[in-house]
Structures are given as structure tokens and as C-alpha cells.
Structure 1
């Protein structure tokens, strides 16, 4: 365990180049391992979650190597040609790895055992297992559809047309990935749009995929038995990671921070839209395309924020950013109401409960429901002074370190080690901008 202390900070200044996008990094490794030929990936996030995916793809027979220049080289085996792993696939804390790999494993004639750390083994897998079972995959799990999980795959799955019961890019991706080695057309219908990194990247690797809006939702259809071909992937900076220095810069008076090369996928920028509606001074510069993904540079200046209502329709585009939005709401003027947050209860922790409890400990009034959270802002700094139990959740830990930076008494985190799962170098980056985050008790 690594206790971290965030002391009150002054203005943040400078450029902050955050790590590569986690979602895109996972998908690049998986599809590169399924492609024929060589795939080169630049900007790959080298956090623990993504490295768990890299290790799993190696175990399944792909060659995955880091080059001297920091790029990654992948030699894939081809769709349907992954080998049976010789040992258990330990995916650490990575729910994305577990869910997306489930689709790949289910569509290969092999048996694999998947496990993870204590946090991942508490997270339900049923929403992914259900459609994959309908395709013909076999799964054995602990009670409640939890890891460890044995996957008995087949190269004779049947295609499905599946309507997502709740918005989930992970479930959508798992079904599409299973469809790669399935004869016929596999379709997913989503009534609420979710991040489309899988669709963009599948096309980049040569898959035949269509996206058709309709009266009942958007239908994504993949033509099966695809032949993927290796390609070059440039991973943009992760907007979910950029959210932490971004919010800190908005809340600390006198701050001006530039965040270069941030991914601006329309299904990932809900937080930026919400913060601008709250009065945040965020300028989007040099909007451009990089390997099929929109990217831009963000210039962030300190601002007075005003509480607003964030409707449930926004949740899919910013589900990972609600913890740091709650911090922004704590310093805003008035009430911020966030709706449609049920998904937060089955993340690395029950993020809804942990944020509400932690904010209250820091002197911020909250109201919590089954799928909503209201934060009553202070209109400035918060009291702080609490020791937060982050519950092995990287986003909870980083959010409260930002809160400590804007507080009167600082904030301590019981264990900051999970931060490396998504944002290696977080403490150094924040301190280089002007934060005061240290190891151990103050």
C-alpha cells in the first residue's frame, strides 16, 4: 500500500501530456494479435491494465514487443488461430481485458481460465456471458457470474442479433470480437450510443462493418470470418486521464494548463461538454484526425463553475468521469445533480457510494440515490482533512487527490498504487504543474 497526501496547491501552469487512451490501447493489442502481419502501435498506454492485455495476447500466441523507440510491435496469428493458453490468464484489475477477451476466447476452440485481483473478481461478468452463451460459448463462473471464469470456446459459434439492455461498449465489443470468427453477420443494436473505438479500429484492420441508424436504435453489423491485416495505430491521449489535470486547472485560481493530443471521440467528451456548460474555460484547439480518431489540444484556464443538472442521457459518454465531475461539483456554486449512474456501482468499486462517503468526510454535502448523486457545492475550496479509503480504485484515488489540492486541509489516500493501472506517472505530472502530492502521511 502506498499512502498519498495532496496538500493545498497554488495555480497550475504548463503543458501536461497524459498517457495514451486505455480503451484504444486494449483494442489495438487484441486486434493486432488477431490480424495477419505486423501491427505497429505508437502512444500505447503502458499502465498495468493494458500490460495485462499484452501478457494475455502473448499467452494466446501473438508476439507483442516493446521497441527501443517506445513503439510496440505485434505479430498476430490470424482470426481463429489463437492457441490455448498454458496457464491462467490473470488480468489484474482490468475489466476491459476480461470482458473483451471473453468474446475472443469464446470464438476459438480452446479452454481458458480467466482471473484477476480481488477487485476484478467482485465485478459481474453476466452481461457479457449472456450474449456469448447465446452464440454457443460455454462459461463456468463463481456465483453471480464472477471470476475466476473458465471459458470453453468454439470455432462454430452462431451469429446473433443482440439488443444491448444497458449501454455498454464492453459488451458491444465482446460480441463483435466473437463475431470475427463466426460465419454470417453478427449484429448489435444499441438504443443509447456508446464509445465506438471498436467499430473504428475493426474497420482500420480491414473488417467489413456497417453502422445503420434506425427507429429502434443503431445497428452495428459485422461480417464474420474476417481476415484482419496488420496496420499502424496512433493512440491519442486518454480523455479520461486528461480529466484530472483538467478539473484541477479549472478549480485552482490563476491556473492555465495545456493538454496536447487528447482524444475527442464524440462518445468520450461528455465531461468536457458538461464542464463548459458549468462555466469552465476550455478551448479546443487544432482539432484533427489521427488514425481514424479525432484529437485536439485543450487549453484550460481557472474558472468559476456553476452547478447544473446532468441528465442520464449523458452517462454513456462520460461514465468513467463522474468521480472527478463530483469533485468539480464540490467546488461549484449551487447544486449539481447527476442522473443515470447505476453503472458506477459495478466498477472497480461502488463509485457512487465511495464518492458520496468521501465528499461528506471532506465537508461537502451530498445526496445519494440508487442511480443518482447530488453534490451541494461550496462555491470555492472545500474543507478536506480526511483519509479516504480508495478501495483499490484508480479513479477514486486520483479524484480525491485533486480534491486535496483545492482543499483547505489537504486529503490523504490510503493506497495510491492502483493509479498505475491507468495513469503511470500521475503524481509526477501533477507536481510538475504545481500540485503538492507526496508519499506517506503529511
Structure 2
């Protein structure tokens, strides 16, 4: 695909797909609950559909009633059954790692695999702590997929300090702890997104959270009876980032994204954009399904450079590529600190972001785990071909850059955008009022 500079401003009120993190968890907790859980606003991207298929394979009844409206009849904690076939998680690291936690607490055998990108991603960060519960894992070098799992017949509760900030690792340990007698304790040195803790409470589990420095200690009482509960999935703040940043960069633009999740452990990008001088406002704030939500409006802004501290990374780890695009149009030298976790995403996202910038004439360097972008406030040159490495966020970030750059930006592969944002291209063309993003061959 190729994105060319918008011929006018971006305008509109829109809704982006449901939050991917909440969608995964809604299906999983519905499968573990007693009774029938109704889910509305579910993201129907490929990643989440892989989770729905896995829950069916593990014995839950999962039914799609209408767009975004799903019903899950659960089997209760400890009630999942052995799948008859391999569980293919596609491109979803979240699904693979969380399901490792689910499987660890059940006395069954299963095999997980995924696409070429997912099979390169490290799993030992979850399998190592989960092994202490009594589960056994056997995979390729580095614990990579395909991965065979033998769940524990009598899982032990875990007491684990997460070495690297990761909501996925924390969540996997807590999911395993549901089936264990006693209290599972997780200590994280930096607070990460807490959708798992919120949803555990929503379904009736006893969870205690205590702040400790920048981090938290989470305790879960094992073997609860989770009760079916309705879940309203908020709009994904990671997806909302793309039209909002585009509106900040294209002169004259004003775009509102409705019903965006405003969990404070997910809003680091919005804090950072405001520090850059972005006109970004929130209205109609409310609570839905245990999560704070609101309508976000972005207006074209002249941005300035920003220095992002490392402790903010967990609250915006997926948004750094599109933030880098915003910094490419800002005045001054921006520094994003502590981005080691970006190296183990769908791609080496730090290297891919650096390459995206370089291909489009934006001076940037990596020092250790910091990304540094030096700009003068003028539009990025554009004109480059971006290799996405099967990473949906790199693809969408590059297309956003093209809408405001001097020359068009071409992306080698957009097929993976549907993993998290079905209809992305049509939505962006809609607020542009023209086909600004088109198949590259049409422009050859």
C-alpha cells in the first residue's frame, strides 16, 4: 500500500475496534467462568479470533451473535479439556503467552504453534515461571514455538518477581494461579496494564493489589468460582493512536475517536503527546465493564520534542512506532528511553522503527535501548519503502506518516493490519475524504 499526503484536512467522528487486550481476556475468562458471558464490542481481528478458536478447542461454547457481540458458555476454573488438535495462535503473542498460563493449571496435553513471526518470539519468559507450578514445557531453542505443554495435575501457587515489565508474563502467572490451592503472588517493579486484575475482580475472584515504588504486588486467592459476567470492551487506545496522531500532523484536522479505553496504565501515549504540545482533549468520560472510557479529540498541532522516561514505557509500549512518527514532525531532539521490550515484539520493533524513519529521510539513532529523533518541525520527507517484517503497528505507523509527508510512503505488506485493526485503510480514507491510501501497484 502507498499513503500520499492528504489533499485537505482529516475530519470526522469515528469508532475504532475494541481493545485487543480486553478482548483476549474476555474470551478466556468467559471460558473459565460458570454460566454464560455476553461480550459486546469484541475486537474481531485475526489475533482475537485465534483466541476464540482456542477456547472452543478447550471445551468452551463460543458463539458469535452479531458484529462484536459474542456469547461464551464457560466450563469453570479447572474445567478445560484436552484439545484434539494443535492450537494455532497465528500472530498473537498475547494469546500464546496467556494460554500457556491457562494450560499450566489443567491436567492436559496441548501443543501451541503460530505463524513465522510468532515462532521467532521468546516464550521462556512465561514457561520458566510456569514450570514452578508443576507444568512441563518442551519447545524449540529458546523455548520458542511450536511448544508442547503438559499441565499440572495439582498446580502449586507461584510467588514470582517479574524481571522485565510485562503484562503478559504477569497475566500468565495469575491465570495459572487460578487452579492452584493457596495464594499466587506476583511482584512487578514497574506497573503494567492491569486488565487481568480488573477482569478477575469482575468475574468474582479475590485480588489484592498494593503499590510498591513504581511497581505493585498482586495477590490472587486460588480456586475461586468465577461467575459469568457481561463484558463491554472499550475501544482500543493503541488503535485510536493512529487516527489521532494523523490528525495532529495534517494541517486543519480535527478527529474524535469515541469510547476509547482510558485505563491509566494504557494512556502513556496521550500524556506524552500533550507534553509535545498536542491539542488532545477528553469528553464524555464514563466507566464501562470496569474500565474507564471517554471520547478523545485531536486537532492539528505544532509539536515540540519530548524526552520520555523509561518508567512510562509499560503504559505505551505498543505506541512507540506511531509516537516516533509524531516526533518526526516535531521541532527539536526527542529521546525515548528504555525500549528493550520493543526488541521482542512482532518484529524487532525498535530496529523496524529506526528503519522506517531512515527510509523516509528522518535522522534517528539508537543508543543502547534509547531511540533519538532529531527534527526541525518541518514535515518528514517521505518517499521511502518500509519493510514491515509482518508487524501490523509498523505498517499502520508508516501509512500515518505518508498522510503528512512531502512524498508518499510505501509499505511492503499490509496483510497483518487485520490482526488488530480490521478496516483500517477504509477508515483512514474516510476521514481524509479521499483515497489517500491505495494499493501501490495502482500508482506505479
- Class of the TM-score when normalised by the shorter of the 2 chains: over 0.9
1:215-239 Cα deviation digits (max 9, x unpaired): 6942111100111111100000000
1:134 is aligned to: 132
Task: Confirm or deny that 1:397 pairs with 2:387.
Answer: no
1:76-118 Cα deviation digits (max 9, x unpaired): 0111111100000000000000000000001101000000000
- CA RMSD in angstroms comes to 1.0
Match of 1:362 among 342, 360, 363: 360
Match of 2:337 among 323, 336, 339: 339
- Tell me: higher relative CO, structure 1 or 2? Use CA pairs within 8 A at least 6 residues apart: 1
2:189/2:213 contact within 8 Å kept: no
- In structure 2, the CA distance between the partners of 1:253 and 1:215, relative to structure 1 (3 Å rule), is closer
Number of aligned residue pairs: give it: 439
- In structure 2, the CA distance between the partners of 1:63 and 1:16, relative to structure 1 (3 Å rule), is same
Task: Confirm or deny that 1:165 pairs with 2:154.
Answer: no
Say which SS state the counterpart of residue 185 (structure 2) adopts: strand
1:100-141 Cα deviation digits (max 9, x unpaired): 000000110100000000000000011101110111110001
2:437 is aligned to: 437
| Structure 1 stretch displaced more, 46-55 or 63-72 | 63-72
CA offset at residue 208 of structure 1?
Answer: 1.0
CA offset at residue 387 of structure 1?
Answer: 1.1
1:276/1:282 contact within 8 Å kept: yes
Q: Where does structure 1 differ by over 6 angstroms across 4 or more consecutive aligned residues?
A: none
Task: Confirm or deny that 1:6 pairs with 2:6.
Answer: no
Query: What TM-score do the two structures reach when normalised by structure 1?
Result: 0.98
Q: Tell me how far apart the structure 2 counterparts of residues 311 and 412 of structure 1 sit (CA, whole Å).
A: 31
Correspondence list, 1:44-59, <5 A = 44-59=42-57
Correspondence list, 1:87-236, <5 A = 87-214=85-212, 217-236=215-234
Q: Tell me how far apart the structure 1 counterparts of residues 2 and 165 of structure 2 sit (CA, whole Å).
A: 36
Q: Tell me how far apart the structure 2 counterparts of residues 17 and 290 of structure 1 sit (CA, whole Å).
A: 15
Say which SS state the counterpart of residue 132 (structure 2) adopts: helix
2:425 is aligned to: 427
Say which SS state the counterpart of residue 438 (structure 2) adopts: strand
- In structure 2, the CA distance between the partners of 1:431 and 1:217, relative to structure 1 (3 Å rule), is closer
1:55-76 Cα deviation digits (max 9, x unpaired): 0000001011110364100000
Q: Tell me how far apart the structure 2 counterparts of residues 415 and 311 of structure 1 sit (CA, whole Å).
A: 32
Say which SS state the counterpart of residue 66 (structure 2) adopts: coil
Correspondence list, 1:233-312, <5 A = 233-312=231-310
1:373-430 Cα deviation digits (max 9, x unpaired): 0011241311111111101000000000001111111111111000000000000110
Query: What TM-score do the two structures reach when normalised by structure 2?
Result: 0.97
CA offset at residue 251 of structure 1?
Answer: 0.5
Q: Which runs of 5+ in 2 are unaligned?
A: none
Q: Tell me how far apart the structure 2 counterparts of residues 419 and 75 of structure 1 sit (CA, whole Å).
A: 30
Say which SS state the counterpart of residue 328 (structure 2) adopts: helix
Q: Tell me how far apart the structure 2 counterparts of residues 218 and 262 of structure 1 sit (CA, whole Å).
A: 25
Q: Tell me how far apart the structure 1 counterparts of residues 368 and 93 of structure 2 sit (CA, whole Å).
A: 22
Correspondence list, 1:69-80, <5 A = 70-80=68-78
1:80/1:155 contact within 8 Å kept: no
1:33/1:77 contact within 8 Å kept: yes
Q: Which runs of 5+ in 1 are unaligned?
A: none
Q: Tell me how far apart the structure 2 counterparts of residues 58 and 343 of structure 1 sit (CA, whole Å).
A: 31
2:375 is aligned to: 377
1:189-208 Cα deviation digits (max 9, x unpaired): 11100000000000000111
Q: Tell me how far apart the structure 2 counterparts of residues 408 and 47 of structure 1 sit (CA, whole Å).
A: 32
Say which SS state the counterpart of residue 274 (structure 1) adopts: helix
- In structure 2, the CA distance between the partners of 1:361 and 1:92, relative to structure 1 (3 Å rule), is same
| Structure 1 stretch displaced more, 270-279 or 208-217 | 208-217
2:262/2:291 contact within 8 Å kept: yes
2:47/2:419 contact within 8 Å kept: yes
